[in-house]
Each structure stands twice: as C-alpha cells, then as structure tokens.
Chain A
C-alpha cells in the first residue's frame, strides 16, 4: 500500500482534448438498453470526441456484463490501445470487484489514462489509484456526465483541463457568479441534507480518496483495502438503511481507517434513510445524521455531510490522489452564503482541490 511520500510521485493522466478517442467499457453491469448507449455517444460526439466500444460490452452473465474474464479482457484491450486517452465505464451496478484479481496493474501504470466512474466503479478507482499509483476520477459514468450542467462542468474541469481545479462550489452557484440573490437560477424551497452540514469543524489537507461505502467495505481485508492515512476521505452510498451504513463505518473505525485521516466528506447519500432500502428495515432506526455525529463529531478533523457526489444528478468529479484541503471554520459574520449548518452555529466551509488532475504531455516543459 502507498504511503503519503510515495504518493508525491503519483502519475497524472494525459488530459482529454477535442478530437481524442475514448474507450467505452462495461466492467460491472451492462447498459440497460442499447438506446442508453446512444445518448452517451451522441454527447461524446457533441463534445468532439470519438469512441471505441469494448468487444464484450453487450454480453451478460447474471447481473454482470459478461463473464469476469470477458470484462477484464475489454478493460485491458482498450487500456492497451495507444489511440485511446480515456477509459470510460458506461455504468456501475455490480461486478467490478470480481475482476480485480484478473487486472494487470503494471499496465495501468505504464500507460496512464483517465478512468472515471462511481458506485460499483469505486472498486477500480481505489485499486488502480493505490496499486498503479495513478490518479483516478470519482465522477459520472459516461451515461450520466450530461445529467446536469453542474455535473458536466465539474467533469470537464477535471478531465479536460490542466489548471488547478480549485474551490468546489454548490449547485447552482457554479453556473451563476452573480451575487444578486433574486437571480432566477437560485433554488427555492429546501432539501435534506444541506450540501455542507457541519459534523465537525477543523482544517485538514491531504490527497483525496474515497467512493461508495458498499464498495469500500467489499475491499476491506483484501489486497485492495482503502488507505485513508493522510487523506481527505469522501464517502457516499445510495438507498441503504442507516444501520447498514453504520455497520460499514464501525468496521472502518475498528480497522483504524480514520485514525490518520485528515478530513471526511460524506456525500448526499440519497435514499439512505430508515426504510430507504425496502429490505432489512428495522423499527425505530435512527437517521444517518445521528450515526455520523456519533462516529465523527470528535475525531479532531473537519467532517461535512451532504456534498453532491455520487448518486445524485448533481455530482462533482473528485480525483483520487490529488491534493485537497478542507477548512471548516466558525463564521464570525453570523451568516454565510457558502455555508449551511446542522445546528444554530454558522460555519464557513471551504473545499479546495489544489492541483490539476491531468497533464498535457504534448505541451513540453509544462507540468
């Protein structure tokens, strides 16, 4: 497993540009219908990109897109192809973890490419980030990168840019830099959780890691187990009972995963409320917020809950292995447009991705 020092030399992939070719794969579950693929490829065309499709990507075995060997084969074939800049899973679902023992990790290190996905793809993002020492991207699968303008702008910034990614804003602030509070794009009404509910204040700086909790749990006790030391850790899940999330968090606590973490960002976790899974429902179950406060209020590191990442239409693209900082400070002004809180205190929350996640090797002397 990597230490923080080794990560200083982490590789960034070549930036994706107009005219480039991307490889489309199905390492987990297959596309729902052939028509779903067409939406994605139409968008790729609009973005000026060409694509190649994995040879086995329309196969199926149980809820997986073909056998483990077939899925691993496609992954290797497209990753080996020198005309391809980015390998983009079309969908998560289930099955990525099954192919890990079949993967050629030195290949990913020798030919660094962009890999973007979330949910089940978390298994690949963490394993390749750690075993191939390569920046990987927690963001929309190719079929979801055009779900909202917020999602698309963060996606482009992360994989099609070479400037530092910078402060992460909330939707729709990203679309509208106007300070006019009557601007029509501002949302009205309320939703839960707020994007920056403060579980614990503090300041932390570290390289990013994280993903979907169910997948992180599936890697515990294996050679691909998540390394949270000196990292800012982002976590999310969807449609799970709060106690199922609590079981995973307790496992991670017992394994010492948060002992040396520098900050924790819990995503929106849509549907993770009592009864949300429609299976394993327990009477009197507490909310996820209660459990997060029990586990994370007193770790001495900044912890926030509600950021749009993962299973929400709005999702920020987060590069694993890139340096970031999280600053949660009590706000002296008493109110702040950039902070929402879970109690009567007012906080300022700054989440800054300090570096660019990609490099442009075609521009010499620029890193």
Chain B
C-alpha cells in the first residue's frame, strides 16, 4: 500500500466538490478559512460552485477539478468540501496511474466514499475517510484533524465509547480480526458492486456507516453484502455511526442492529456496533488500506502501521 506524505505548514490543499456543490457561498468561504487556519494554503477547485442539477457542474467540470489537483505536484492534499451526489460518475475517468505515482492525501466521506474506495482499490494508495469540510465544527476536531494529517506517527486506536458506561460495547460475536481495513459508506460501497471499482473485501476488516436512511433500506444493502458471499470472507465487521437513520416513521421495523446481528451471529463473524466511525467531525479519521487488529468484544481497533510517510 502506497502512503502519501504527511502535510507541512504552508502546503497547498485543494478544496473540491466531486459530488454536489456547497449549499451556499459562505460554506465555501468557511471551508477555506478552516484550511487556512490549520496552516495550509487552500486552493479552491475552479468549478466548485458550478451547477448541473444537484451536482457541482457537469461530469467534465467536476472531473477537471479533481484531475487538476491530482496532477499538480504543488498540491499536497485534496479535501472534499461536501457530499450530496455525483462522485460515482467520475470513477471511469480518474487517473489511477497518476495517483499511484503522485500519491497525496485525499480526504472526505459520505458520497465521496466512492472516490476513496475506488482510488484505494485501483491505485493502492491509502485514502482517508474523514469529515467533509462542511462537517468540521469543533475546536477539538480542528486540532485533531490538523495533528493527524501533519504526522507520520501511527493513528491512535479507535475505541467504542458510551456517553456514560466507559467500557460498554455491544458485540454480537466476540473475536479478534486482523486484516486490511476497508471503510466506507454502506450505500456507496454497494454502489461499486459488480463494477471494476468494487473493493476487495477478502480478509479485510470492514467498517460501515451511513446517514439519513431508513432501516429497511440499510438492510437491503447489508443483504447484498450477505448474499454476495463476500461478507463471509471478511475478518471482522465494525458498524459505525448511522446518523439520522431510523424507521423514519414506519411502525413495523426492528432496529438495524438486530437485522445485522441475526446474520453475523449465524455466520460467527466478529462484529461490534457504535464505533466512532462516521461523517460528523467527532468521529475518527480512518485510513483505508492499513493493516489493523480489531477486538470486537472490547470495541478496540488498533493500527499495525502508520498511515502517512
């Protein structure tokens, strides 16, 4: 796995919108300010505020912003401004070889998960699942993101935390799984199934999250993982934050936890819930492709190697 270099003060960071555009001009200005205050130089994609339906410009415009940033040696990192929809439409034209030759930090989440998963799978470069810039809204997160992106040290271990019970973790199957970490948005991951960009899940430690979805829809995509016979090849499964996911007014639904647990229990797949993995900035930044050791009983995931060089 190729590791990008850690950021230094005054490094240029491209801010792009591979999916939807920022909802308003202030969202873009605010993102620039955050990156600036971290000590980097923000470089906004030429088409970040374009419109093409819900997307930040047509495919050519959005592609041009990401390709420009990937090819430009003076750009040290790419940080996605926000999610929405549209990054999957760029996958067939991304310069995967260029990215392998010129690795750099690419960070984002939600719809941008398509990019992170495809770039990691095709270019064998570590990519970073972390809040899009529009979700950075605390001093704690600001400090933590800055520290993580500027150091070649091992990322700190991820630990399930309950607000009250410090050592509480719900784990339907207790075991330790070791493998290469694949982490992403459940909807995005399943959207890559059957395509040349589908991540290799065999032997992996798989982390999933999603947002604003109904339990039965989440179960549809989890079912796809299950019936594909790929879930049975996974070393361990971690369910992260399913922000704003619920029965959404349907009266007849069990929790997503139960719908997942009935199958992982039957499969004896090491699994735990409520990992600090998701889209909000209090969650961990997760580097895709690293070797990890995951103890589901304790809800503890440790990195066996560093993420950045």
Q: Which residues of A are in contact with B by a Cβ distance under 8 Å?
A: 60-63, 94, 97-98, 100-101, 214, 217-225, 242-244, 246-248, 250-251, 254-255, 279-280, 282-286, 290-291
A-B contact pairs, 14 of them (CB 8 A): A62-B253, A62-B254, A94-B219, A97-B223, A223-B227, A242-B53, A243-B85, A243-B86, A250-B88, A251-B195, A254-B92, A282-B54, A284-B53, A291-B53
Given known pairs A250-B88, A251-B88, the reply for A222 and B224 (CB within 8 Å) is yes
Chain A residues contacting B26 (CB-CB under 8 Å) are: none
- Does chain A have a CB within 8 A of B197? yes
Beta-carbon nearest neighbor of B192 in chain A: A251
Per the bound structure, the CA–CA distance linking A223 and B224 in Å amounts to 10
Q: Let me know if B54 and A243 touch, CB within 8 A.
A: yes
Beta-carbon nearest neighbor of B220 in chain A: A218
Q: Let me know if A63 and B250 touch, CB within 8 A.
A: yes
Given known pairs A98-B223, A221-B228, A251-B88, the reply for A62 and B196 (CB within 8 Å) is no
Chain A residues contacting B86 (CB-CB under 8 Å) are: 243
Q: Let me know if A286 and B221 touch, CB within 8 A.
A: no
Chain B residues contacting A101 (CB-CB under 8 Å) are: 226-227
* Per-residue interface assignment for chain B, residues 245 to 263, with 1 indicating a CB less than 8 Å from any chain A CB and 0 otherwise: 0001010111000110000
Q: Which residues of B are in contact with A by a Cβ distance under 8 Å?
A: 20-21, 23, 51-54, 84-86, 88-89, 91-92, 187, 190-198, 212-216, 219-221, 223-224, 226-230, 248, 250, 252-254, 258-259
How many A-B Cβ pairs are below 8 Å? 116
Q: Let me know if A218 and B223 touch, CB within 8 A.
A: yes
Chain A residues contacting B193 (CB-CB under 8 Å) are: 220-222, 251
Beta-carbon nearest neighbor of B254 in chain A: A62
Per the bound structure, the CA–CA distance linking A217 and B221 in Å amounts to 9
Per the bound structure, the CA–CA distance linking A220 and B216 in Å amounts to 18
Per the bound structure, the CA–CA distance linking A60 and B54 in Å amounts to 39
Query: B194's contact among A225, A244, A285, A286, by CB below 8 Å, is which?
Result: A225
Q: Let me know if A214 and B252 touch, CB within 8 A.
A: no
Chain A residues contacting B92 (CB-CB under 8 Å) are: 254
Q: Let me know if B194 and A220 touch, CB within 8 A.
A: yes
Beta-carbon nearest neighbor of A219 in chain B: B224
Chain B residues contacting A284 (CB-CB under 8 Å) are: 21, 51, 53-54
Chain B residues contacting A244 (CB-CB under 8 Å) are: 85
Q: Let me know if A279 and B214 touch, CB within 8 A.
A: yes
Chain B residues contacting A218 (CB-CB under 8 Å) are: 190, 220-221, 223-224
Per the bound structure, the CA–CA distance linking A166 and B85 in Å amounts to 41
Given known pairs A222-B227, A223-B227, A284-B54, the reply for A279 and B216 (CB within 8 Å) is no
Chain B residues contacting A214 (CB-CB under 8 Å) are: 220
Given known pairs A243-B54, A282-B84, the reply for A255 and B194 (CB within 8 Å) is yes
Q: Let me know if A246 and B85 touch, CB within 8 A.
A: yes
Q: Let me know if B85 and A247 touch, CB within 8 A.
A: yes
B224 CB to closest chain A CB, in angstroms?
A: 5
Chain A residues contacting B51 (CB-CB under 8 Å) are: 284
**Top 4 closest A-B pairs, CB basis?**
A221-B193, A286-B53, A220-B194, A282-B54
Chain A residues contacting B53 (CB-CB under 8 Å) are: 242-243, 284-286, 290-291
Q: Let me know if A254 and B227 touch, CB within 8 A.
A: no
Q: Let me know if B54 and A283 touch, CB within 8 A.
A: yes
